[in-house]
Structure 1
Amino acid sequence: MIEERLYIVTYDIADEKRWRRVFKLMNGYGRWLQLSVFQCRLTARRRVELARRLEEIIRADADHVLILDLGPAEKVDPRVESLGKNFAPVKRTAVVI
C-alpha cells in the first residue's frame, strides 16, 4: 500500500485571478477547510506534483504558500479545536475515474 501523508496547505495570493486558479487546483487535491486553507492526504508523488503546479501559478515575489506536513495520514489524529462549523479530518476514499 502506498503511504499517504496528511498536509495542511494554506496560501496568501495577492491577485484575485491567481487566487481563484490556486483554489480550483487545490480542490483537486484535498478538502477545503476555510477561505485559503485545505487539508490533503497525498502520496509523495502527488505532493511533489502539487508543489510543481502551485509554482506554475503563483508569483514568488507577491504570493505565499505553506505546505505543512503533519505525518503519516493513517497515524495522525489531528487535535483541532473548531469554533463554529464542525471540523472533519480527510478520510481515505476510493475515486473512480
Structure 2
Amino acid sequence: MRLAIAYDVSDDSNRRRVYRTLERYGAWKQYSIFELEISKTDRIELEDELKSHIEPSDGDRIRIYRLCNSCVDAIEDIGASQSGEQSNVI
C-alpha cells in the first residue's frame, strides 16, 4: 500500500527519531513529509514505532494518508525538482 505521512513534532530529538524511522520505510519528499510503499504488517510495526517517538501532550502529531492508485497517478510536482536521492518508492 502507498502512504503519505506528514509529521509535526516539537522536540528535536523526537523529530530526528521520527525522521530516521520513516527514512527506513520510504522516501523523504518534502519538509516533514514522506511517501512509503509498505505491506499491512510493516504499517502496523511503523505505527507502533512512531507512537513511541512522539509526545501528544506537547502537541506532536503524525497524519497517515493512504493513497489509492488513481491518487498516485494524479500526483503533480510544481517547482524545484528533487535531488537524485535514492528511494524505495517506485
TM-score range, shorter chain: 0.7 to 0.9
Query: Residues of 2 paired with 1:9 and 1:39: CA distance?
Result: 6
Query: Residues of 2 paired with 1:78 and 1:50: CA distance?
Result: 25
Q: 1:60 aligns with which of 53, 56, 59?
A: 56
Query: What are the within-5 Å matches in structure 2 for residues 1-97 of structure 1?
Result: 5-61=1-57, 62-71=59-68, 75-76=69-70, 77-86=72-81, 90-91=89-90
Equivalenced residue count is 84
Query: Counterpart amino acid of 1:53?
Result: E
Identity across matched positions, percent: 28
Q: TM-score, normalised by structure 2?
A: 0.82
Query: Residues of 1 paired with 2:80 and 2:4: CA distance?
Result: 18
Query: Residues of 1 paired with 2:44 and 2:4: CA distance?
Result: 14
User: What runs of 5+ residues in structure 2 fail to find an aligned partner?
Assistant: none
